Structure 1
Amino acid sequence: MFSEIGQLIFDNEAVAKTSDFTMGIEIEMQRVDENGNLSQEPYPAGAGDEQTNPWITNDFLETMSEVVTPPAAHALDAMHYLFSINNALRSALSPGELLWPLSMPPRLPKDKSKIPLAKMGPKKEAYLKEWLKRHGFSQGTPCGAHINLSIDPHVFDLVLANMSDRFNSKVELQNYLYAKIAQGFLRYRWVITYLFGASPVAEANYFDPGKGPKAPIRSIRQSSHGFGNPFSGDYTNVQRYVDRIEKGVADGKLISDYEFHGAVRFKGNTHLRELPKTGVSYLELRMLDLDPSSSVGIRTNTLRFIRLLASYFIMSPAMNPEEVEKVIARSDKMNEEVSEEHPNDVSKYQANARAFLQSLEMYADRIQLGPEYQEELEDLQDRVENPLTTPSAKLITHLKNGSLEEYAIKRAKRYQQSALQSIRPFKGFENKAKLSANELKQELFKGSWEPDKSKVDK
């Protein structure tokens, strides 16, 4: 079951460290009015400066709010941050404004030319205008949940101390392990789409007349109908990842390296070309739809599952480098097929999903993970066996005339009302352009709870 590195980690009783990923979360949601239209209100002043506040900003549209958490040591810590910052954003909204809880946008106006793009400074705004010319308005509007993962430094120290003959430097090891995890997530992305896909339909005017799926599907956002450029990355190693993106820019297939929106992105240096030398410091996972059953768009158990996957990928044997591109290409095809299945249908790849989750369960048993992980795996196994329990299948029970608008507005109002009843709403962004992570922690919690020191989620 274990690779050489995995066995080393297991023998040194350091498996817990492979699960101690530092996590950050980014959640995008559209601001809307109570009738389900994109909001006409200005950017909320109480959310701080949209160009300098690192914790609340926007993306593509002026109405597309993005909440960003600081890195946290445990899933529960990350969720505490997310709830607090999400509440701060909700408290800053104008009366009657709501946050749309679905990945696919609310109904769009037929004339989209007057909808303002995000105010992100001249360079970013020029990029957005060029992106709009190339891809059209609708493709920039889907929202999602992004998870940032970084490996516990203890893992690097242990491997380097015992395998110096294989890795010449910490950077070489970092790039190897992050590439290995990225390959795992891309190989099994279709499983995540099946288990967590939650964008079965699009609202009015997202698709041009006669375009788009004719019936609900598991995930429009994760399919070829969703966000982004179809440009494919090369995840064989970090250098080839950089080379492929730079060639895409040189060939005019990408506006800039920023336009590469693969399901996984290597992060760590603002200058992409330097990344192989300076080393990947974290992965950005971009394969989750918003979960409308949560006011913040994601659930703690989902984060735990993502951490379990990342740990499993570190400990398992790596793919043969010559096979990586072929395996990921096949997985991309599987993801497209799964995303376009009707939510109520048993997946074409049910047996494959069942076998993969059984492997994860065996892994969780062997490394003696806690009951919360076992419970999550049992729930996900139920989704594989009964597609009616998947998020998209649950969503389509709320369809009215092919729309989820009534359901979404009802949820959005409930979440907004709950946030406004908060005992101590956070007001710290209004007069402070840029809070550090430590300042944010102090302002948000003021000693009532201490992130990163909680023992609950170990």
Structure 2
Amino acid sequence: MSQPESTSQDILPTWVDSSLIKGMLRGIERESLRMQSNGFLSQADHPKALGSALTHPHITTDYSEALMEFITPPKETISEALNYLKDIHAVTHAHLENGEKLWPLSMPCMLDKEEDSIRLAQYGTSNIGRFKTLYRRGLGVRYGRRMQTISGVHYNLSFPDHFFEALQKHETDDNLKALSLQDYRSHRYFALIRNFIRLTPLVMFLVGASPSVCKCFMTGRDHQLLPLMKGTLFLPYSTALRMGNFGYQNSAQKQLGIHYNDIQGYLEGLQKAVHTPYAAFSHLGLNDEQGEPIQINDHVLQIENEYYSLVRPKQVPEAGETPSEALQNRGVGYVELRAVDVNPYSPIGIDEHTAGLLEVVALYCLLQDSPALLDAEQNEIELNQAEVVNRGRAPNAAILQNGQSIAIEEWCQQYLSQLQPLAQLLDDSYNTDIYSKAMHVMQSRIDEVDETLSARMIEDTLEHGGTWSFGSFMAQQHADVYEQHQLSAETAAYFAEAAEQSLQKQAQLEQDSSISFEEYLKNFR
């Protein structure tokens, strides 16, 4: 059922004080390709000294065997989350082999002409391990393997229950007051999600960092990109090509009509996609000529995680639960903000300015009215996103707002001004100045477009002589930082133990398989 909307009009209601925000948690997931010393994508296995990519809690792989993913646990402050991420990078760097480095850009390092040289992530011989690799094979068959070499940052954020209780107490709608805390919390998180989708052009403009690509990434694809210099393509005013047509796009998913107006509608849309065959994917077949499976199924989504979105409602699944079942059973526990490029100037891919911005924007999105997101507005948002992705830094770049065109700087300024009191509130909550400093940095990017990450990257790519040279230079700078990073004895011991335990867990899973993989897959299908 769709739920009634709250009516508060204030940017920061007078009753909201800093104590109510205390208890927020944030966790960060950062992806990065392993790059060989010659600049090409690594062909080596995931380093064994880092443990099992299947079962390690913090160091795993995403699509490709070379695409590492680093995951922090939820932390009480931005500084703690970033420091944990620094530890993970230092540990990982220490165990990279043969002079490999972590590639520092969202768009990939050098790729061979052959797609098969982008190795699928391997998770061992257990049924769950083989299933994960098959899912990735399916993604490659459906969308090409090149698309799966893109890196991003996902920012996970939750607000404390006492904050939702206070919000609910101040609702004027009796239907909202009557909801259980779980249902009310989900209602407010979905409101946050709708508003965050509305504000993704702001995030892309301020922290977008993929204005150009290595020419090799576009092999075999039609595009309108222009040569920046030998080996590098770009659009003159682009900010975040990763978030546009060359990034994660799926025309089949566009037709799903999955919306974020309430949790039930969202879950029903997702389930329909997971169970609906799609002709183009059926045409690919389920198995290759040797009878080996090449995709889990021929449905619009093989599994729920295949649904690409800018922001996701999340709940930690318990044993045996799918993400949807976790949401159905316990409601939304946190949101995953996914419209964030890797910042090549930060050794860990994200800095406290971006983290501060994301938290202030999320709090704003939670507190503001959030009407249902209908098709007409969704179309307008997509036009705005495309404008910012492709030409956000152009002197005449403009945002559509209720059908009216408004200069992008003016639109961004309008929101940044509204975010200021929330930044102050968060600073007060945490006895810090991270949030107001973040606003100051973002203000400088609105005042002077050349201060944006995307503008700096174009300048530095030209100065270094291309994407590969710029990326390699930054990778070496970051490697120096990792080497100087001091791990405490306790932290070093923890990661050594985590690696060892993850290998044991994987071995256990491989011994426990009581049915064949064919049977396992048949049961899933």
TM-score with structure 1 setting the length: 0.87
Query: Closer, same or farther in 2 for the Cα pair 1:329/1:427, shift >3 Å?
Result: farther
Deviation at 1:368, TM superposition (A): 7.4
Match for residue 403 of structure 2?
none
Deviation at 1:4, TM superposition (A): 5.4
Structure 2 residue identity aligned to 1:87 = A
> Residue 332 in 1 paired to residue 389 in 2?
no
> Residue 391 in 1 paired to residue 416 in 2?
no
Query: Closer, same or farther in 2 for the Cα pair 1:350/1:15, shift >3 Å?
Result: same
8 Å CA contact retained: 1:27, 1:66: yes
Deviation at 1:304, TM superposition (A): 1.1
Residue deviations 1:292-340, cap 9 Å, x none?
1100000012111111111112222222x2x444333321220111101
Q: What runs of 5+ residues in structure 1 fail to find an aligned partner?
A: 437-458
Specify the SS of the correspondent of 2:90. helix
8 Å CA contact retained: 1:398, 1:404: no
8 Å CA contact retained: 1:198, 1:289: yes
- For residues 9-28 of structure 1, what are the structure 2 equivalents within 5 Å? 10-18=13-21, 20-28=23-31
Deviation at 1:49, TM superposition (A): 1.1
Match for residue 418 of structure 1?
481
Structure 2 residue identity aligned to 1:296 = I
Instruction: Count how many residue pairs are aligned between Structure 1 and Structure 2.
Output: 433
Match for residue 42 of structure 1?
45
> Residue 229 in 1 paired to residue 280 in 2?
no
Match for residue 381 of structure 1?
443
8 Å CA contact retained: 1:234, 1:325: no
Structure 2 residue identity aligned to 1:157 = E
1:360 aligns with one of 419, 424, 429: 419
Match for residue 362 of structure 2?
310
Specify the SS of the correspondent of 1:285. strand
Deviation at 1:435, TM superposition (A): 7.1
Structure 1 residue identity aligned to 2:191 = K
CA distance in 1, matches of 2:142, 2:303: 13
RMSD: 2.7
Match for residue 265 of structure 1?
312
Match for residue 52 of structure 1?
55
1:301 aligns with one of 339, 347, 353: 353
Deviation at 1:94, TM superposition (A): 1.1
> Residue 155 in 1 paired to residue 163 in 2?
yes
8 Å CA contact retained: 1:344, 1:393: no
CA distance in 2, matches of 1:316, 1:71: 25
CA distance in 2, matches of 1:365, 1:21: 16
Query: Closer, same or farther in 2 for the Cα pair 1:368/1:201, shift >3 Å?
Result: closer
8 Å CA contact retained: 1:195, 1:383: yes
Structure 2 residue identity aligned to 1:315 = L
CA distance in 1, matches of 2:158, 2:88: 21
- For residues 157-236 of structure 1, what are the structure 2 equivalents within 5 Å? 157-160=165-168, 166-209=177-220, 211-212=222-223, 213-214=225-226, 215-216=234-235, 217-230=238-251, 231-232=253-254, 233-236=258-261
Q: What runs of 5+ residues in structure 2 fail to find an aligned partner?
A: 1-5, 124-128, 227-233, 277-298, 399-407, 503-525
CA distance in 2, matches of 1:36, 1:345: 35
Structure 2 residue identity aligned to 1:248 = A
8 Å CA contact retained: 1:192, 1:288: yes
Match for residue 117 of structure 2?
114
- For residues 286-297 of structure 1, what are the structure 2 equivalents within 5 Å? 286-297=338-349
- Which structure has the highest helix share of the two? 2
Specify the SS of the correspondent of 2:190. helix
Query: Closer, same or farther in 2 for the Cα pair 1:203/1:167, shift >3 Å?
Result: farther
Query: Closer, same or farther in 2 for the Cα pair 1:218/1:11, shift >3 Å?
Result: closer
Specify the SS of the correspondent of 1:292. coil
CA distance in 2, matches of 1:285, 1:363: 18
Match for residue 391 of structure 2?
341
CA distance in 2, matches of 1:5, 1:434: 52
8 Å CA contact retained: 1:160, 1:167: no
